[in-house]
Amino acid sequence: MSAIQYIKDIYGAVKSLLIGMKQTGYYFTHHKEIITQNYPEEKQQLAERFRGEVVMTHDSNNEHKCTGCTACELACPNGTIKIVTKFEQTPEGKKKKAIDKFVYHLELCTMCNLCVVACPTDAIKMDQAFEHSVFDRSQLTKVLNKPGSKIMEGVE
């Protein structure tokens, strides 16, 4: 190793290190580059398509669109959805199948959206809620149809 090469090596090394320090020094002095969000105070606006959990839409008359066809149950890869059906008396006296309980296991759900795609009546959709942590796992098993809700008129 010649002496000139030796000095050149040192010069190059020091230069590359100083360039690196310039970068971190830039960020140290430019506080507006900070990207931290203080989570509970500053909540990020979630995307409208964000998939947080499955919900069933109810209108103001407490009516939903679910016919209990179990398309979503079949589409689900994890066995997240269990539909319990019952027979209801229609005004004409006919017996009609309707849902009793739409059981949704949030703890098994991977938010893959396949159930929403499979639903023929758009009864369920994905909601943006993401703060799902609870102390007891059983609270993650939800019944999506609200108590006393009925199927909407005209949905087959």
Partner 1 sequence: MLEEVSAIDQGDMIINIGPQHPSTHGVLQLVVTLNGETIKKVEPHLGFIHRSIEKMCESLTYRQFIYVTSRMDYLSSHINNHGCALCVEKGMQIEIPERAKVIRVLMDELTRIASHELWWGAMAMDLGAFTPFFLSFRERETITDIMEDTCGARLTMNYIVPGGVMVDLHPDFQRKVKAFIKLFREKADQYNELVTGNIIFQSRMKNVGVLSKEDAISYGCTGPTARGSGVNCDIRKLYPYEIYDQLKFDEVIETGCDSFSRYLVRVKEMYQSISIIEQLIDNIPEGDFQAKTKAVLKLPKGEFYTRVETARGELGVYIVSEGATTPYRIKFRSPGFSNLSALNHMAKGGKIGDLVAMMGTLDLVIPDIDR
Partner 2 sequence: MWSLGNITHSIDAWLNESFNPALALLIEFVIVGTMAIELFAVLGLVLVFMERKVSAYMQIRVGPNRVGPKGMFQTFADTIKLLLKEGLTPSGSDKFLFNLAPVIAIIAAMLLLAPIAFAKDFQMWDLNIGVLYVSAISSVAVISILMAGWSSNNKYSLLGAMRSGAQIVSYELSAGLSILAIVVLVGSLKMTDIVASQETGWWLFKGHIPALIAFATFIIAATAETNRAPFDLAEAESELTAGFHTEYSGMRFALFFLAEYVNIFIVCAIGATLFLGGWMPFHIGQWEAFNHVMDFIPSSLWFFGKTFFLIFLIMWFRWTFPRLRIDQLLNLEWKYLLPISMFNLLLATAIAIFGWHF
The token pair that represents 88 in the structure block = 């209801």
CB nearer partner 2, residue 38 or residue 138: 38
The token duo for 4 is: 């000139």
Q: Given candidates 16, 61, 90, 141, which one binds partner 1 under the rule CB under 8 A?
A: 16
Q: Binding residues for partner 1, how many (CB under 8 A)?
A: 26
- What is the number of other CB atoms lying within 10 angstroms of the CB of residue 109? 19
CA 104 – CA 73 distance, rounded (Å): 10
Residue of 2, 4, 5, 36 that binds partner 2 (CB under 8 A): 36
Angle CA 132–136–139, to nearest 5: 60
- The answer to whether 130 touches 50, Cβ cutoff 8 Å, is yes
Based on the shown chain and the rule CB under 8 A, indicate whether residue 5 belongs to the binding site for partner 2.
Answer: no
Which of 126, 64, 74 is closest to 100 using CA atoms?
Answer: 64
Size of the site for partner 2 (CB under 8 A): 15
Instruction: Assess 35 for contact with partner 1 (CB under 8 A).
Output: yes
Residue 34 in the binding site for partner 2 (CB under 8 A): yes
- For partner 1, the binding residues (CB under 8 A) are 12-13, 16-17, 19-20, 22-24, 27, 35, 46-47, 49-51, 75-77, 110-114, 117, 126
